[in-house]
Amino acid sequence: MNITSGTVFIPGATSGIGLGLALRLQATGSTVIVGGRRTELLQQIAAQHPGIDTVEIDTTDPASIAAAQADLAQRHPALDALVTMAGIMEPEDLRDPASLDVAERTIAVNLLGPIRLVNAFLPGLLAQPTATVMTVSSGLAYVPLAATPTYNATKAAIHSFSESLRVQLTKSNVQVIELVPPATRTTLMGQQNSDVAMPLEEFLTEVMDLLRTQPDAEQILVERVKWQRNAEAEGRYQDVLNVLSARYRD
């Protein structure tokens, strides 16, 4: 991934990891476009961070994705990277019929959204000399958290989708990278003050170091996520599942 002179679109980057990554990429020399649903928040980001461009997009709406793609094709014809950051994480009690609403909403944002984004932006990326699609899964794609069953499932699906996309693009100019965050101190699930979550700035620093030193990496794995990512291969799956289950019960 070109982190010093590329043009990167990050839908879902109005806060947390997405906004942090946008600012880090801008600092290294990239042109960065932040996407989000709220016009006033996008205007605030543009005012606070000169040089960051913005576009309104709702990744649950195919028409909104198509409009954003057409807009960016005109304003940023050199766009060569897509980071499918938009996502939600909500607890579900599967014994409660109302949990179906959470599940459907999570699938629409976390799975259909990235698939639609890739479908819309891939033709333009294929037209560039080199390009990148970065998907965003989670450590919970590999060992689930009982409190968020559909979130876990969508992130496992994103991992699988990324693997297939990478194989299909093997002979193309497009690199596919899967970013695999651990629990990170953001407002997602109210983890901003969590003792078990990784500090956001530490996470971002390690991600940028990995992108710089491992330009051909298929996955970006900070040290704090490897206990989940590698649990099954290392024969620790049940132990890790027990730890996460204890957090759920607590």
Containing 82, the helix (H) or strand (E) segment is strand 81-84
| SS3 at position 185 | coil
How many helices (H) and strands (E) the chain has is answered by 9, 7
Q: Is-contact 136 20, C-beta < 8 A? A: no
Token pair listed for 223:
């040290």
CA dihedral 182, 183, 185, 191 (to 10 degrees): 170
Give Cβ neighbours of residue 88 (< 8 Å, ≥ 6 apart): 105, 106, 109, 110, 151, 188
| SS3 at position 34 | strand
Q: What is the spatial distance between Cα 4 and Cα 32, in angstroms, rounded to a whole number?
A: 11
* Residue in 142, 151, 237, 248 annotated catalytic: 151
Is 151 an active-site residue? yes
Q: Is-contact 40 22, C-beta < 8 A? A: no
Catalytic positions are 151
